[in-house]
Every structure is written in C-alpha cells, then in structure tokens.
Structure 1
Amino acid sequence: MTMSYEQAVAALIEAGRRLDARGWAPATSGNYSARLDDGSVALTVSGRHKGRLTGDGIMRVDLDGRPLTAGKPSAETDLHLALYRLFPEAGAVLHGHSPQAVGLSRATEADGITLAGHEMLKAYPGHTTHAAEVRLPIVDNSQDMAVIEAAIRPALLVPGAIPAYLIRSHGLYAWGKDVDEAERVLEATEWMIAAELAEASFRRAWTR
C-alpha cells in the first residue's frame, strides 16, 4: 500500500513518537520509511531524534538511494531499499533499538530464535493461531550495509519467513503493507522478545 509524501510524513512522525514513548528510539537511533505512490521512498533524515520529528526530518529518495529532496539519508537507507526491492508488497519499514531486542541478540550466538505458542504470533500477516512457531533471524552487525543485506537475504526468502529480523547488538527491523502494519509487526515481535526473556529469567529463579 502506497501513500502520498504528505501522508507518509504524518504517519512516520506519529510512529516515531509512539516508538520513542516505548523506549525504542533512544538518542537519534532508529530509522523509518514508507513507499510512496510515485515509486520513491520517504525516509527519516540521519541524526534526528525520532520522538521529536518534524517535516524537515523526513526526505525522499529513489529506489537506488539517490536523494530527491534536501537532507542526508540514514546510514541504513540501503537496508530499507533492499526490503522494498525484495518484497513489492512492503509499504513501510520501521527499525527500533529496544534494550530487550539488543540484549537478546547479544545473549546468543545463534543465527535466530524460535518464537512458539505466543498469542501474539497472530499479529504477523497470514497467521491465525497461537499454535505455531516462527523463526526470528539474527544477523551480525556491520558498518557495511551490503554485508548485512547479503547475510540476511537467505533467511528472509525461506517459505513462511516473518517480516522481521534482528541485527546483533543493534536492533530490530520490521515491515508491512503500511506504517500501521509495520508498527504492529514491530510491537508484537518486541513483546514476544520481552516475554521470552522474562520466561528465561523466571525459569532460572525457580530452579535455584
């Protein structure tokens, strides 16, 4: 689902405020984007606090990352554009930095975690029951976005893959048909990560 630039600016500003209120956008971290009806992408400008975004904190780029308006694109623009190229149905991408997601990614050396039995699984498009399990991929961080993209691409193309992945020591990427769906995927995934960490903590406490 696409939208006008004006609609995207309003939606991304509101998303930034909501994500910041949850503690998922500390300092100037995170970046958000939306696919526009002319084929370009609205994207947050580098170095702006996402909880205090204004119209000049969002710019337009084409699908090759070339700026179409004034501003410096986020350093992670290529990761957003890779998702839009890979998934034509994707209309928005949100990237958050919650301490729970980052902490979980640092606590394991695995290339992903399994989320199973959570009622919140039904927040993912196409999922209608808690009686399921999905894989949340984890990819190592890099300052080279091409390295991250190449490493995560195979996991994103696995049948049944969810529209989310973690960058180790960095944060969570989530996407959807529009900003609302991308935020729902991000929030559900963050909730399940927090629930998994809480369960692990309780199990350790009860087995002492």
Structure 2
Amino acid sequence: MDETRLREEICRFGRSLFERGLTPGSSGNISLRLDDGGWLVTPTNASLGFLDPARISRLDAAGRLLSGDPPTKEIPLHSALYETRGTARAIVHLHSTHSVALTMLPEIDPRAALPPMTPYYLMRAGQTALLPYYRPGDPAVADAIRGLAGRYTSVLLANHGPVVAGDTLEAAVFATEELEETAKLYLLLRGLNPRYLSPAQVDDLVKTFGLTLPAPDAHHDHDHAHGGHAHPGED
C-alpha cells in the first residue's frame, strides 16, 4: 500500500474510533511503520476524528520530522514498542474509558491485566500487561516497555490508556477494540464470580489458532496465568 493510501487509512480508522467515543477530544495517537524504517504518526494535539492526511507527521528511521505537523509527544512509547515487537507495523494508543478504569483497580495483575474471558480477547489482544503511571510523553515509559521484552502486543498504562501493536493498522484497531470491550465486561461482572475460560478451553484456542502464550506461572491462579501475546484471529 502506498503512502497516500496509508495516510488515508490512518484518518479513516482514527475517525471511526473518535466517532464511537473510544478516545475523546484530542486524545490518542496512531502510528504506522513504513518499509524504509520511518513512520507516519498522528500530530500532537490532533483529534483522531478530524485528521488531515497531508498534515500527518512523517518521521525518518531516527525519529526526525521530515514533513507534516509536529508529532505526538508519545513518540518514546511507540518507538520502544516497535523496537521490541519486530513484527509490529502499526500502534494504536487510546484513552478509552473502560480500559483506563481497569488500570485503577487494586486487584489487577500487572502480568495479566484481564483473565481469559472470551476467545476473541485471546485471539486478538493475546494478553495484556499493566505498567505503572508515567506522565504523558515521559521518556521513562520507553524503558518500561522495553522491560516487557516484546512478550505483549497489548499494554495498559496506569491511569492513562491502552497501547496496542499489530501487523497491520486494522489488526491493531481490532485488538484495541477487543481489549476495551473485555475491560467493559470485567467491570460489569466484577464481584459476581463469573465463569472464565477453562485451561482446556484456552489450550484449544492456542492449538487451533496458533496463539503464542507463555507457560502459566506456578505462583498465579489460573485466572491470571496466561500472560503474553497472540496473533490476531480470523472469523
């Protein structure tokens, strides 16, 4: 896909996310990694609902601005995730309400922020890490992302929002949406002792769809044992 169409794709998905209330105001950002190692990234203080393809920031492989408006201040976040997730070609960062709310709950396991609630959560988002709070744009968040060593495609920033990588922008958007809906389910069912997927059901998904999930940690209960990443599932 040529750069013109990639710019249009960023605008199309950004508008869809904004119009459905998944990232309000000028919050959130999207990036795409290009074949030459450079990026397209949404500008700072830009609403995802009103992006101009011509004003999207074009960066070289070193992160220097080549054209367009100044880029989002979350460049360190995107850079570290690309660095550690070699197959990632797109990253979506939102301030989606239910995902942010999840990060504020005291019981959340940072190695597995959500239990295995639905098959599509595992198939699209894999499993989700939770990082501590960093102020927006803090370069230290890059070291925190590197500390995950590329094991996760979906990450939650405490009191801030989700960051999700994908092989394509569509895959990253779909995984972000699945993460948000799963966070919503968790909040709806919190305290009601819901039935999650069993270990056998999770293993069946792993085998059928070729998911890559790390082995369970003997010190965790099953509900929080399946941290890691996955390849997006297909209908």
**Is the shorter-chain TM-score for this pair beyond 0.5, marking a shared fold?**
yes
1:153 aligns with 2:146: yes
Structure 1 gap segments, 5+ residues each: 128-133, 204-208
| Paired amino acid for 1:178 | T
1:116 aligns with 2:116: yes
Structure 1: which 4+ aligned runs deviate by more than 6 Å?
Answer: none
Equivalent position SS for 2:8: helix
Deviation at 1:39, TM superposition (A): 2.0
Show the counterpart of 1:4. 2
| Paired amino acid for 1:118 | T
Please give the residue correspondences for 1:86-105 in structure 2 after superposition, counting only pairs within 5 Å.
86-105=84-103
Q: TM-score, normalized by length of structure 1?
A: 0.83
Equivalent position SS for 1:116: coil
Deviation at 1:22, TM superposition (A): 2.2
Q: 1:169 aligns with which of 159, 172, 181?
A: 159
Q: Residues 82 and 135 of structure 1: is their aligned pair in 2 closer, same or farther, counting only changes over 3 Å?
A: closer
Contact 1:45 1:73 in 2 (8 A): yes
Contact 2:114 2:183 in 1 (8 A): no
Contact 1:96 1:171 in 2 (8 A): yes
> What percentage of aligned pairs have identical amino acids?
26
Q: Tell me the distance in 2 between the aligned counterparts of 1:57 and 1:115.
A: 40
Equivalent position SS for 2:120: helix
1:10-55 per-residue CA deviation (whole Å, 9 max, x = no partner) reads: 1100111111122122110001011112221000011111111112
Higher helix share: 1
Equivalent position SS for 1:38: coil
Q: Tell me the distance in 2 between the aligned counterparts of 1:36 and 1:21.
A: 27
- Give aligned pairs, total: 192
Q: 1:142 aligns with which of 135, 141, 149?
A: 135
Q: Tell me the distance in 2 between the aligned counterparts of 1:135 and 1:96.
A: 15
Show the counterpart of 1:131. none
Deviation at 1:70, TM superposition (A): 3.2
Equivalent position SS for 1:145: coil
Deviation at 1:143, TM superposition (A): 4.2
1:102-134 per-residue CA deviation (whole Å, 9 max, x = no partner) reads: 111122375352321412234327x7xxxxxx3
Show the counterpart of 2:69. 71
| Paired amino acid for 1:95 | H
Higher strand share: 1
Contact 2:42 2:57 in 1 (8 A): yes
1:76-112 per-residue CA deviation (whole Å, 9 max, x = no partner) reads: 0121122222222111001111111111112237535
Deviation at 1:65, TM superposition (A): 1.6
Show the counterpart of 1:183. 173
1:35 aligns with 2:28: no
Q: Tell me the distance in 2 between the aligned counterparts of 1:140 and 1:110.
A: 15
Q: RMSD across aligned C-alpha pairs, in angstroms?
A: 2.2
Q: Tell me the distance in 1 between the aligned counterparts of 2:177 and 2:149.
A: 19
